[in-house]
Amino acid sequence: MTARVLLASGNAKKLAELRRMVDGAAITGLDVLGLGDVEAYPEPVEDGASFEENALIKAREAVRRTGLPSLADDSGIAVDALNGMPGILSARWSGGKGDDANNELLLAQIADVPAERRGAEFVSVCALVLPDGTETVVRGEWRGRIVRETRGSGGFGYDPLFLPDDPSAGGRTAGELSAQEKDGLSHRHRALAQLLPALAALATA
């Protein structure tokens, strides 16, 4: 019998990334579902004070609503010159106007900040909650800096503004990397990689 795990997200790119990682880890017998694969339910209010709290809010609610082992990610960008903001407010930084507006607002807020002080990091916290109440929370970070204009049309969110420190990125922003290249470097990949043993255990339970 195939085990199932629910990614409590409607983001198709996040779902595809997790499925690629499960396949790449040769985990068989595990079906990764998204919110579009289960009966719709009202998404909870993400009113936590940290990425960890918000990830747990989403994962716990998904388990309560579906009875399935559930994984939730809360992520965002923390800009040094803004004292770690937008942080947990990243997706709503422009008041819910979308990625382009968020990027424009961020660029405007640090327009006068010199290159050496434009450091930033992407943060991803993933929470895996099981129906028996077991909870596993992991964190991944990806250091880089904010460039002065958007570059690239790949990824989503702040990717076109984020220039990774990783030499393997070749001086390209996250928005200029292919999905496979980003998989190997990103904050979410670093967090999800820590959960692969727990996901493999679900497949063999």
Walk along the chain (205 residues) in steps of 10 and give the mean pLDDT of each run. Answer: 90 87 88 95 94 98 97 96 97 93 98 97 97 97 97 92 96 94 91 93 88
pTM: 0.92
- C-beta separation of 66 from 38 below 8 A: yes
- Does the annotation count 47 as an active-site position? no
Q: Of 107, 91, 88, 111, which Cα lies nearest the Cα of 160? A: 107
pLDDT at 5: 96
Burial of 203 (0-12, 13-18, 19+ CB in 10 A): middle
Per the residue annotation, which of 23, 47, 74, 99 is the catalytic one? 74
List residues forming the annotated binding site: 9-14, 74-75, 156-159, 182, 187-188
Predicted pLDDT of residue 1: 67
Helix (H, G, I), strand (E, B) or coil at 29: coil
Annotated binding site for Mg(2+): 74
pLDDT value of position 205: 77
Peptide linkage before 197 cis (omega within 30 of 0): no
The answer to whether domain 3-204 has CATH 3.40.50.300 is no
Residue 127 CB neighbour total at 10 angstroms: 27
